[in-house]
Amino acid sequence: VEASIPEPQREAWKRNQITSFTDKDGFEKEVVRHVETTLARSMFNCDEIAAYSATSLAFRDRLITHWNRTQQRQTYRDTKRVYYLSLEFLMGRALDNAMLNVGLKNVAQDGLAELGFRIEDVVKQEHDAALGNGGLGRLAACFLDSLATLNFPAWGYGLRYRYGIFKQEIIDGYQVEVPDYWLDFNPWEFPRHDVTVDIQFFGQVNKKTVGGKTISVWEAGEIVQAVAYDVPIPGYDTPTTNNLRLWSSKASGGEFDFQKFNSGDYESSVADQQRAETISAVLYPNDNLERGKELRLKQQYFWVAASLYDIVRRFKKSRRSWNEFPDQVAIQLNDTHPTLAIVELQRILVDIEGLEWDNAWEIVTSTFGYTNHTVLPEALEKWPVGLVQHLLPRHLQIIYDINLFFLQSVEKAFPDDRDMLRRVSIIEESQPKMVRMAFLAIVGSHKVNGVAELHSDLIKTTIFKDFVEIYGPDKFTNVTNGITPRRWLHQANPRLSELIASKCGGNDFLKDLTLLNQLEKHVEDKQFRKEWAEIKYANKVRLAKHIKDTTGVVVNPASLFDVQVKRIHEYKRQQLNIFGVIHRYLSLKAMTPDQRKKQLPRVSIFGGKAAPGYWMAKQIIHLINSVGAVVNKDEDIGDLLKVIFLEDYNVSKAEMICPASDISEHISTAGTEASGTSNMKFVLNGGLIIGTCDGANIEITREIGESNIFLFGNLSEDVEDLRHAHTYGSHTIDSDLDKVFNEIEKGTFGTPHDFSAMIAAVRQHGDYYLVSDDFHSYIETHQLVDEAYRNQDEWIAKCITSVSRMGFFTSDRCINEYAEEIWNVEPLAVDRHSIWGP
């Protein structure tokens, strides 16, 4: 590449290479320059937002240099790349992360102080990038951080939603949704108006004969343009800066159709433009639920087609043969949302590049890996055949052919098993017929993985059982989820991170989290325990202040903080938690003042969004707030119990909440939460957890030891029988839970009718989530928590021991497992000295 540029030119470029700042003075210079030129402001009208903008621009400039060099290096070495396709990337804020990863937060802190700003206030000006619903989107963000930190040549591909997940307001105890318009000023994205792809929809397929060969030609009915927006992803303590490419939709042919405009059809030209822009307008706000909307399918194809076009275009530059494609490209499907990529690549190879079907299919299946994140039936994607036919006629034909060849091979292996063919068919023969996306993803990938051991076992024995028989067990594997310790410890809890560093020989543990095990030999150290406890207390004081500022309720930071923050969902069982809180309230009320004095004060903290169309989840939020309204002003109770609902739970709030919990709740019905990742965040921040034997809780127990976790409830293998008994046997409700229900029905927490459906779900409708079955064990376990918390010394020891054993749950471990077992890619060594530093 370099050889094509004449020597004098090359010299001029090199002579003028940008040098990034490395110290306080250099940083200040850049901030002032950006305030006074880029932002056209001055010392006299530089508010905190301007300080945030200028600081971001200063760091952004620094990142761009590394980002460009990373891309050049990856292109030059031409090794295999990983592409992570995810409809969600829940990134949160970028500035703090960039400062820490680049290693210049102290410099920025000092520089901002001299210019008159506190860095914490400046960082808080940033709007969260909230392009995701919950765990699945945040996992994708943690994976990007690890991929860059470990120097893997990797790209993320997603959609640039104009509106991320809605903002939640609580009004009169009810959730109200407010649109999240976040793109006003976003220094972290780079529009690439020169990187565009035309995406077709609708139309029909015609057969043509070219050189004696019949080919299918898809004539489009509508074309929408995809425009790339790039976001730099800095690794921690490495120059590697990877790329996240987000596609935005636009009417093809610019602003609007001038043909139509000139012919007087102005309105329809504007309508066309708006229809095109609608595709990337909004993130669907459902977690663990698929509602089968046409626009959602359009989003999926739009994003997948643009990404594949981009990937193929990059591959073609190296002029290799198609058979080398899987040696150069690994594509990971984050759930079934990008499954159409399988069909699209087959279409490109067969229809456009002219490969034989079998040859193309071999390339396709060697390229893709599929990660399953849920077994909930309502979350498994199925699209009506008629809808696919209408929107993507050629793709439907290809899906039918994929299915035909697949079923032929199954028939050969299982000759007399008609029912097997019906069960595994990619097309469900229902009314209407449906395309089963998970089955298509399995057939089109070389590896399928679950996200925690229990979950990976469950998919092999339940929803994908037949496929294990067909392909053998080796196609199915497990990669237990993880989290990035950079954001979830170093950034969220700087004081704890520093204390840990002082015992673990510096900051290396942030890159090799197993080094945390060095903490264990300090567990008995009194001074260390004291400092540990002080940090936890300070984090609780910070959260207490936030609670006071946002809800007006004063909580005592010396209370036990009991936290459940995650999306509101019946399977996650916030209802179990609030029923337990009511039970505690009733017990306290029944006590004499003397008895009460002996009780441990508690703050029950909830947070999380309900999908706007999920009525029952909204009822749960309403009950929590209604209980809080009564309990928090009850003078008999005082500090003994407070019930708080934190509005608008998101990534940046999680960074404040996780370090402040004493105990957090991960209490899904066994077998329903595939992994969970906040469980890991809480333990890593020195909190204990109460949980069911579900998802990653089981592996957390294996790692930290049974005595450091509070497990309760029925096991996943018993769930089916219990549900059966509820429906067909006599169903008796736990007597303590019955008392809770009676109290709600008395009107203690407001109009009983408001909560009748929640009670009926347990009493009358089969208690699908086993709230009653687990209630007694839940209450008992909370008593154990109270007892354990009374012995603060031992409690802190449990926390330290747990943290020291959390090394397994870094997302770096996940990425290394994916790289080895699924992608077959290696990191690209970087010469730190030639391009890192001044």
* 481 is a site residue for ligand TH1 (CB under 6 A): yes
Query: Exactly one of 195, 271, 379, 586 binds ligand TH1 (CB under 6 A); which one?
Result: 379
Sites for ligand TH1 among residues 395-454 (CB under 6 A): 451
User: By C-beta, is 288 or 564 nearer to ligand TH1?
Assistant: 288
Where does 730-827 show beta strands of DSSP type E?
A: none
CB of 148 to ligand TH1, least distance (A): 20
Q: How many CA atoms lie within 13 A of 189 on its CB side?
A: 22
Cα distances (Å, whole numbers) of residue 316 to 3, 301, 322, 361, 362: 21, 22, 9, 18, 18
Query: Exactly one of 70, 225, 243, 677 binds ligand TH1 (CB under 6 A); which one?
Result: 677
User: By C-beta, is 335 or 812 nearer to ligand TH1?
Assistant: 335
60 is catalytic: no
Sites for ligand TH1 among residues 317-336 (CB under 6 A): 335
Q: How many CA atoms lie within 13 A of 679 on its CB side?
A: 32
User: By C-beta, is 143 or 325 nearer to ligand TH1?
Assistant: 143
User: By C-beta, is 55 or 286 nearer to ligand TH1?
Assistant: 286
CB of 374 to ligand TH1, least distance (A): 4
| Closest C-alpha to 481, from 443, 512, 451, 501 | 451
CB of 674 to ligand TH1, least distance (A): 4
* 139 is a site residue for ligand TH1 (CB under 6 A): yes
User: By C-beta, is 408 or 462 nearer to ligand TH1?
Assistant: 462
Query: Exactly one of 674, 761, 785, 825 binds ligand TH1 (CB under 6 A); which one?
Result: 674
* 478 is a site residue for ligand TH1 (CB under 6 A): no
* 135 is a site residue for ligand TH1 (CB under 6 A): yes
- CA dihedral for 424, 429, 435, 436, sign (positive or negative): negative
- Catalytic pick among 93, 373, 455, 540: 373
- Catalytic pick among 62, 460, 486, 681: 681
Query: Exactly one of 74, 146, 374, 781 binds ligand TH1 (CB under 6 A); which one?
Result: 374
* 480 is a site residue for ligand TH1 (CB under 6 A): no
Query: Exactly one of 347, 373, 583, 666 binds ligand TH1 (CB under 6 A); which one?
Result: 373
Which of 220-228, 284-292, 739-747, 790-798 is the region at the interface with ligand TH1 (rule: CB under 6 A)? 284-292
Which residues have C-beta within 8 Å of that of residue 611, sequence separation ≥ 6?
285, 286, 287, 289, 567, 617
CB of 695 to ligand TH1, least distance (A): 6
Give the Cα separation of 222 and 392 in Å (integer): 11
566 is catalytic: yes
User: By C-beta, is 304 or 560 nearer to ligand TH1?
Assistant: 304
Longest dimension (CA), the chain: 95
Across-strand partners of 174?
171
The 78-117 site mask, x for binding ligand TH1 (CB under 6 A), equals ----------------------------------------
Asked if 681 contacts 486 with a C-beta cutoff of 8 angstroms, the reply is: no
Round to the nearest angstrom and report the end-to-end CA distance of the chain.
Answer: 25
Tokens 């034997």 correspond to what residue?
693
Rg (CA), the chain: 28
Q: Applying CB under 6 A, what is the total number of residues that bind ligand TH1?
A: 20
Q: Looking at this protein, which amino acid is placed at residue 770?
A: L
* 456 is a site residue for ligand TH1 (CB under 6 A): no
- CA 774-728-668 angle, to 5 degrees, is 25
Which of 63-71, 244-252, 403-411, 673-681 is the region at the interface with ligand TH1 (rule: CB under 6 A)? 673-681
DSSP track, 51-79 = HHHHHHHHHHHHHHHHHHHHHHHHHHHT-
DSSP code for 609: P
- Catalytic pick among 250, 572, 622, 798: 572
681 is catalytic: yes
Asked if 103 contacts 21 with a C-beta cutoff of 8 angstroms, the reply is: no
For the chain, what percentages of helix, strand and coil (3-state, to nearest 5) are there? Answer: 55, 15, 30
Asked if 374 contacts 380 with a C-beta cutoff of 8 angstroms, the reply is: yes
Query: Exactly one of 156, 164, 203, 695 binds ligand TH1 (CB under 6 A); which one?
Result: 695
* 651 is a site residue for ligand TH1 (CB under 6 A): no
**Residues that bind ligand TH1 in the complex, under the rule CB under 6 A:** 133-136, 139, 286-288, 335, 373-374, 379, 451, 481, 673-677, 695
Catalytic sites, residue numbers:
373, 566-567, 572, 677, 681
